[in-house]
Structure formats: structure tokens, C-alpha cells
Amino acid sequence: MLGGAHFAPTGKTRAKQLAGEWPAVRVAEIRGFGGIHHRVPLGDSLAFLRGRKLRPDAPAPRTLALARETVDLRTAAQLVDPAQTRAIGAALLYAVERGYLDGSRTLREVLSLVEADVASGGLDILSSQEFPTGAFALPRRQELAAALNRVRTLRVRT
């Protein structure tokens, strides 16, 4: 019946009706997002790496073997070369050996120190060899942080 007949509202019309009945309250924006909590890696949680050498026998291109610890980096999509994974492992060992992970520096500060050393001395500064190896490719700091965050023994203070 046309004319005076009542039709059921279409999907779009019904959605507008419902939206009018339920006003949006965006709690996150009212409260704010809060501050950034800087994580401080505790050095004793990585003490097992002190004096170790990088194990070259990684089970997969995106798997890092550190002492008895295996770090899975398969979800780090930006890693495209096994040489980046080796550099990440060497950088973690380097940071431990240099005392950068001493429980007083934030993760951001540790990453900045390692990056500054690599920028001034080149990637081979990470090597335990006394001569350049050419075995490393530069990873981004995000992948280095991702690897550190995936070490099972890592403990942090916020």
C-alpha cells in the first residue's frame, strides 16, 4: 500500500535512529591517554649473556640464538636479511658487555647508545672479532627493541 502505508526504515535510516538514541561517550578522550612509561631493562635479567659469543647456528633466518635462549623474530616483518638478525644478536651482546643494560637506563637510552656507537664505529663495532667481518646488515631500532622485548628472561622496571 502506497500513500499512507508505513514502511520499515532502511538500514541507513535505522542506523541514524539508533545513533540518535545512544549518544557517543568517548571515555579515552575525556580521561586522556596518560603519559609514556619508559621501561628500564634490568641488567641482571640478561646477565646470562655476559661473556657469550653470538651463536651462528640460528634455526631460521628470523630466529636468534643467544646462549641457551632462542628469540623468535618471525613477526618482525621489516627484517629482510639474516644479516640483520645477526646484527641484532650482536647488538644485544654488545649492549650487555658495555654495561648499557645496567638497570638505570631506559630502553630508549640503551637503543640510542648502541645506535650512536654504530654510527661512529660502523657495524663491525658489534663484532667480537678483531677484524671486520661484513656479516651484519643494519636493523632498525624497532627490531632491536622487539628482539630485546622477546628475550624470555628480560625483566623491566617502569
Q: Which residue has the cell 630485546?
A: 148
Q: Give the per-residue pLDDT at 112.
A: 97
| DSSP letter (8 states) at residue 67 | T
Average pLDDT, the chain: 82
Give the pTM: 0.73
pLDDT given for residue 48 in this prediction = 81
Query: Looking at residues 72-81, what average pLDDT do you find?
Result: 87
Query: Averaged over 87-107, what is the pLDDT?
Result: 92
Residue 30 domain flag: no
Number of domain units in the chain: 1
Q: In which element (H, E) is residue 112 found?
A: helix 107-121
Which conformational region is residue 61 in: left (phi greater than 0), alpha (psi within -120 to 50 degrees), or beta? alpha
Q: Is residue 75 part of a domain?
A: yes
The three cell numbers locating residue 35: 603519559
Does 49 map to a domain?
yes
Q: Which domain holds residue 70?
A: 40-157
Is 70 exceeded by the pLDDT of residue 94?
A: yes
Summarised one tens digit per residue, pLDDT across range 45-72 is 888 888 777 665 555 678 888 877 888 8
Quote the pLDDT of residue 1.
47
Cell numbers for 150, please give them: 622477546
Cβ-Cβ contacts under 8 Å for 56 (sequence gap 6 or more): 86
Determine, yes or no, domain membership for 35.
no
Q: Is residue 23 part of a domain?
A: no
Residue 102: inside a domain, yes or no?
A: yes
5 domain residue, yes or no? no
Q: Look at residues 117, 61, 119 and name the one whose alpha carbon lies nearest to residue 89.
A: 61
pLDDT score for 13: 84
Instruction: Say if 9 falls within a structural domain.
Output: no
pLDDT digits (tens, 9 = 90+) for 13-36: 888 887 778 777 666 666 666 677
**68: number of CA atoms within 13 Å, CB side?**
3
Q: pLDDT digit string (tens) for 118-146?
A: 999 999 899 877 777 788 999 999 999 99
**Strand runs labelled E in 7-66:** 40-41, 63-66
User: Are the beta carbons of 49 and 96 closer than 8 angstroms?
Assistant: yes
